[in-house]
Each structure stands twice: as C-alpha cells, then as structure tokens.
Homo-oligomer: A and B are copies of this chain.
C-alpha cells in the first residue's frame, strides 16, 4: 500500500477565503496522522470526508497560530462526539498548558484520555514507534522552537514467492507466517530450503518528511536523505529572499535546493505568502533546481508509491 497525504490547508498566516492555514492528513500503514492544525482544520476534515475517529496522533510543528489555533477546537469536538479512545498530541513545550487552560475555563475537560508529548530537544529524536512505523523529529530553524517530522515505514515482512512454494507439497498455509518472517523451511527428510528461495524481498519502506516552518537550513539534509516525499515550506519566491531570511522562512528555490541535496524522490511545496497571486510561479522557480516538484493545494491528495 502507498502512503497517502491529503492537504487540508497550505497557506501562510493571513486569513483569506479558501486559503486555509497548514494542516495535513497522512495515511501510512494502518495509521492516520494529523500534521499541524491551523484554524478551521476540523471543518476541512469534514469537507474532505475524513472520519474524526481515525485520528489518534496529532503532530504540531510549532506554536504559531496558523499551525495550531485549530487544535483546541478539534479536541473539544472530539469531546462532543463522545470520543473514548486516547488522543496523543506531540508538540513544543507549552502546548499542554495552552490547550488545557482553554478546556478548563470552558469547563469542558475531555472524557477521553488526552496525552501530550511535549518536545524541547534540539536534536532529532524518535517520538513514536510501533511494529510498522517510526516518527522522528526534524529540528528546524524558525522564529520559535519548531520541529518537522519524519514518518518512516519499518521494513515489512518478506513476500511469499508462490511460484516456488507451489512446488513444495509439504508447505501448508500455516507455514506462511514463518516464511514471511524469514525462516528457512525444514522438509520431513531433514533437508532445508533456504528462505530466499521461497520468498521475495519485502516492499521498500516508504518515508515522508514534513518541514514547515523553516528558513533554508541545511542541517536537515542528513535527516531527510532520500525520503520518498518531502514537504518543504516555500513562503516566498527568490525575489523576497532577504525577507525570507529575516522572517526565517524559505523561498521556492531554497526548498528545491534542500530537496536536491537530500536526493529526495519528490518535493511538495506550500505555505505560500498571500502576497503572491499565482502559485504556479512557486513551481516554476523550484523546478529550475528540482524537477519533480509539486504544488500543495487545498484538497489535493498525493499518493506516494
């Protein structure tokens, strides 16, 4: 199965009609991750038919409003919908106090377990792991403490090679899981068939890196090396490179340069400043450096194979 990324919002802070702030919904293995949660994200989830109950983990990059002002509303709505399952929120230190204070004054504490994982390290760290997926932080360079997130599938099971298995009568369906796990097969006569004769290499694990907001920051290159897909903010075009520098944002060229240096397979850019009328200009600029660039657009779905 591929990774599936739905763009719920991809514009920078100033509010406009039909220009939602940052939020993304990532489906990877059996997980459904929400990444950032600008104001109005819960309505965007509704608009694109995403079931609220699917979301068990929310990752917040930083505490600027256009990346987290929608979080408290979503948490409150989960309460109204009688959610029972745990919700895990990963974000910068301070996020817990900001959210819980609002729940307290509105006298609407959640009836479901709301678990905050507050981040403060300036080094990349593993913040989520199960048998299939790992999530690492990507320390970024912005005006406040900010992390991107690297979502990585783990190496999966080996795949059954039915064209060889069918020739071995002694192999039964109940043996399949051992084969997928890499075990050799021992025949009744004691002979051994090596696992790699009966199985194929597992699917190559896929990976997605989310990097927003950030200045042009080469230290991330090692962390995101060769990911299948990189989302990198590009608030400005290169005509505003000095403004990008002072506000700690990136230009389309800079995002493309990071993608090229990290040898990623695909780049998505977004977080466009409202000053630009035609977002196609971002793509044009980025593609001069990194050809396989796509524009984030609200509602767009990227399937990452």
Contact = CB atoms under 8 A, between A and B. Distances in A.
Contacts of A107: 143-144
A47 B97 contact: no
A19 to B, nearest CB: 9
A270 interface: no
A80 interface: yes
A249 to B, nearest CB: 13
Contacts of A97: 101, 105
A15 interface: yes
Given A39-B40, A107-B143, A46 B64 contact: no
A69 interface: yes
Contacts of A17: 43, 46-47
Contact of A40 (B43, B98, B102, B106): B43
Nearest to A94: B105
A182 interface: no
A43 B15 contact: yes
Nearest to A81: B14
Given A94-B105, A101-B97, A107-B143, A77 B16 contact: no
B39 A80 contact: no
A299 interface: no
Contacts of A92: 105
A102 B102 CA distance: 10
A13 B77 CA distance: 8
A150 B256 CA distance: 56
A73 B71 CA distance: 12
B108 A98 contact: no
A106 B47 contact: no
A76 B21 CA distance: 13
Interface string A38-54: 01101100110000000
A214 to B, nearest CB: 16
Contact of A65 (B76, B94, B101): B76
Contacts of A102: 63, 65, 69, 98
Contacts of A40: 39-40, 43
Given A15-B43, A94-B105, 9 more contacts: A15-B77, A64-B108, A65-B76, A65-B108, A69-B102, A97-B105, A98-B105, A101-B101, A105-B144
